[in-house]
Structure 1
């Protein structure tokens, strides 16, 4: 007996598996099972390498229907998406998309229909890659902007001591001075002295992130 499986993939907190399933049901799909990868990047990880995605290769049988929100759920880039779709079609598995309600299967033998189908697969895969690359570039631009305008978000809280105070504290700690005495001698907060004593490497890393 054939089955209809929805494969969902989410990689950010702005997406949910439940939302993708609700979209499929609203589009008229009767889903027998949902297989999903949560927190998995589709840009860097092939379907067969994802924890749940690889299950599809063992679970799907001839006559089954694989439903995805869009073809970008199936691969990292143009070549990956087209290879994945053609692999499943050769196995007799029908692939359907929620967006635009597209259907891809390997049953047709008419050369014209095959040509149209393959051209459409290529176009959709290329579009998916272009969208992924555009999103990646937008994210890079956003990160660069925030690094310039809100450096504390990416570098953490600015150290409450200078490089000179850090060096002085290190010397006094090595000499066996107490935290309170070091704080008084260097003008530092006692808690800052304790943090340096507990993990000097971490404290220095904070200075380096801020160029101190």
Structure 2
């Protein structure tokens, strides 16, 4: 007796297997069994090398129906996806997708229908790979940005020798035309510190902010 089996690949950022099963049932599929690979990256591990992916190849029989959310569940890239779909079809297994309710099988012997079917498989596999690469690149960019922010937060530079009150007093006296030596005497700061604040007031202010002063 033929079976309908749902294969769910679940990564940490993906849907749960239970969610994919619910989606399949809502789409009208009567699922007999669920095979799920959890915590496995679809863009780095081929289907045949995933723990439950290997089991899937062993358990599917001619006449069975393999249900997947989308063709990207069946491989890590264009070649992997197309090779796996063709292998399943050669075994007499029907592949159906929850998204768009696509059906792929090896029943037809008409050359034109086979060409259309194979072209559609190729297009969908190429689209799946492009989406996976775009997602991976976005993740890399996000991680790099987060690391850069962490580095910016971690590096504060040398702690200023002045506090916020000193800074504001120096700025006020500079505005009034008071000389650096006189400001140093009045505030207790070194003349070099006063000169640095005069030369780069914005940088001096940012240094205080970096230290929460």
Query: Common fold, TM-score beyond 0.5?
Result: yes
Note if 1:116 corresponds to 2:116: yes
**Residue 152 (structure 1) shift:** 8.9
Report runs of 4+ in structure 1 exceeding 2 Å deviation. 150-153
Counterparts in 2 of 1:3 and 1:126: CA distance versus 1, 3 Å: same
Q: Give the structure 1 partner of residue 86 of structure 2.
A: 86
Note if 1:138 corresponds to 2:134: no
- Alpha-carbon distance in 2 for matches of 1:51, 1:19: 20
Note if 1:96 corresponds to 2:96: yes
Matches within 5 A, 1:117-196: 117-151=117-151
Q: Give the structure 2 partner of residue 73 of structure 1.
A: 73
Q: Give the structure 1 partner of residue 57 of structure 2.
A: 57
- Secondary structure of residue in 2 paired with 1:54: helix
Structure 1, unaligned runs of 5 or more: 159-212
Q: Give the structure 2 partner of residue 24 of structure 1.
A: 24
- Alpha-carbon distance in 1 for matches of 2:111, 2:89: 16
Q: Give the structure 1 partner of residue 198 of structure 2.
A: none
Q: Map Cα deviations across residues 72-115 of structure 1 (whole Å, 9 max, x no partner).
A: 00001001100000000000000000000000000101111101
Structure 2, unaligned runs of 5 or more: 156-213
Aligned residue pair count = 155
- Secondary structure of residue in 2 paired with 1:2: coil
Q: Which has the larger radius of gyration?
A: 2
Note if 1:11 corresponds to 2:41: no
- Alpha-carbon distance in 2 for matches of 1:16, 1:81: 21
**Residue 150 (structure 1) shift:** 2.6
Give the TM-score, by structure 1 length.
0.70
Cα RMSD (Å) of the superposition? Answer: 1.6
